[in-house]
Amino acid sequence: MTKLLKSWVESANSPDTPFPLNNLPYGVFSVDEDEPRCGVAIGDMILDVAYLEEEGVIALDDEPALDLPFWNEVMELGPKKWAELRARLTDLLKEGGDHVLSSDADMRAQALVPMADTTLHLPFIVSEYTDFYAGKNHAMNVGTMFRGPENALPPNWLHIPIGYNGRASSVVVSGTDVRRPWGQLKGPNDDAPRFEPCKRFDIELEMGAIVGTPSEGPITVQEADDAIFGYVLLNDWSARDIQAWEYQPLGPFQAKATATTISPWIVTKAALEPFRTSTPDREKPLLPYLQEPGPMLYDIDLEVSLAPEGKSETTITRTNYSVMYYSAAQQLAHHTTSGCPMNAGDLLGSGTISGPEKHERGALLELSWGGKEPIALETGEERSFIEDGDTLTLKGAAKGDGYQIGFGDCVGTLLPAHKDPYKR
Ligand code: CA
């Protein structure tokens, strides 16, 4: 297992920091009223790479690529440039590396900004958003609740990474409040549908993969893996009562369109390289175009906490990304089979990540078994679904030898529904 790479930025050497030199995740930050620009997390600081590019310390392309409020330009430069940038950043920040930054106090003061003084923004322009359904435990649990145990797993599930086209416009960065939606609801015993605030608002614990290299026709699983720029944590907020009524036959629509929250830092594939792991054994052989040439999942510990308004948080689930049946590379390869073009900034949600055990489930729908078994919080309260004022936090870390690769928390607070959404 790879060891901690030591940096002259002291806070990056702590075993507890999510952002050691091994990580170097990409975000967009601003200070006070300054324009948002590209930055790289290192310990408790942000490296202002837009400034370093301006000073000629980093040279990626003929045109500046880092003085922008998104990383899409860098994505479009391709894997060779991604590797060059990572190598340059490592050299600038490592102990005994290039001294241009470490030896120049004025430049250092300009280039390293305390993260606590910054505002973080969406790290890239989400060009498109597709959400998958690749966790078998989740699919079994939800299928059992929605259709009964005999029909839990759809007949195509072991052959196709099932997905639907989501809404890029609804993707928000961690820290953005989410408003409880209204929608059309009808329970199985109701005579007619009604238009009301959602009563079963939920989370989905997922990983998001970000496409870096565009494609125009079908690509292989290996090409898909090569095209992925990095990963974020993703909370696919879900209105279960709206979903249950609307989803057949074309899948979720308004139930998933309120918001999807992502963590603020793009963790690159290079940082996750030591944590690659294989998908579980196939229960049915996959068609050749979906077969993985090597390990394409990652060993990333995940957890979710819930804090009622003004109260302390309780960890409500703990699981690992490696339980997924399909990798993001398989999903991306499948996505292109039709000839569907993929763009830099295309976001692919993994599907809810639920482990086999009850305390490993990645949605309240599963944790409370559709509300029949509310979960206990450390505050003494119970929850079946999210209540107004609750704050949900997703956390993730790949654990190395004396260091960890973190993503930054993926946080959102639920605001109450508007009294009347059509009141003007
Ligand atoms: Ca989802």
Q: What's the token pair of residue 183?
A: 């929608």
Residue-wise pLDDT tens digits, 120-162? 999 999 999 999 999 999 999 999 998 899 999 999 999 999 9
Percent of the chain predicted with pLDDT > 90: 96
Percent of the chain predicted with pLDDT > 70: 100
Query: Ligand 1 centroid to 241 CA: how many Å?
Result: 15
Query: Ligand 1 centroid to 352 CA: how many Å?
Result: 6
Pairing of strands 171-173, 260-262: parallel
pLDDT at 366: 97
Residue-wise pLDDT tens digits, 317-365? 999 999 999 999 999 999 999 999 999 999 999 999 999 999 999 999 9
- In the CATH scheme, what architecture does the domain 129-415 have? Alpha-Beta Complex (3.90)
Closest listed residue to residue 352, CA positions, set 107, 182, 189, 131: 131
Give domain limits for the chain: 10-121, 129-415
Mean pLDDT over 22-47 rounds to 98
Confidence tier at 1 by pLDDT (50, 70, 90): low
Closest listed residue to residue 409, CA positions, set 261, 230, 307: 261
Only one residue has tokens 């119970």, namely 382
pLDDT at 339: 97
Is the Cα torsion angle 259, 279, 5, 85 positive or negative in sign? negative
- In the CATH scheme, what architecture does the domain 10-121 have? Roll (2.30)
Asked if the model's pLDDT at residue 179 lies above 70, the reply is yes
Sequence-ordered list of residues with C-beta below 8 angstroms from that of 87, at least 6 positions apart, any chain: none
Mean pLDDT over 88-114 rounds to 96
Confidence tier at 262 by pLDDT (50, 70, 90): very high
Closest listed residue to residue 276, CA positions, set 398, 394, 407: 398
Whole-angstrom distance, CA of residue 332 vs CA of residue 223 = 9
Asked if the model's pLDDT at residue 24 lies above 70, the reply is yes
Exactly one of 121, 138, 334, 335 is catalytic; name it. Answer: 138
Closest listed residue to residue 324, CA positions, set 378, 358, 360, 375: 360
Do 10-121 and 129-415 fold alike per CATH? no
Confidence tier at 244 by pLDDT (50, 70, 90): very high
Is 335 tagged catalytic?
no
Asked if the model's pLDDT at residue 424 lies above 80, the reply is no
CB atoms within 10 A of CB 194: 10
E strand or H helix that includes residue 142: helix 136-147
Query: Ligand 1 centroid to 118 CA: how many Å?
Result: 30
Residues whose CB is under 5 A from ligand 1 (ion)?
131, 204, 236
Residue-wise pLDDT tens digits, 225-235? 999 999 999 99
Mean pLDDT of the chain: 97
Query: Ligand 1 centroid to 236 CA: how many Å?
Result: 5
Query: Ligand 1 centroid to 261 CA: how many Å?
Result: 11
DSSP for 271-340, written as a single string = HHGGGEEPPPPPSSPPPGGG--SS--EE--EEEEEEE-TTS--EEEEEEEGGG-SS-HHHHHHHHTTT--
pTM greater than the 0.95 cutoff: yes
Is the Cα torsion angle 272, 275, 276, 280 positive or negative in sign? negative
pLDDT at 81: 98
Query: Ligand 1 centroid to 239 CA: how many Å?
Result: 11
Q: Judge whether 27 and 265 are in contact, CB under 8 Å.
A: yes
Closest listed residue to residue 198, CA positions, set 213, 211, 214, 187: 187
Residue-wise pLDDT tens digits, 193-213? 999 999 999 999 999 999 999
Query: Ligand 1 centroid to 421 CA: how many Å?
Result: 25
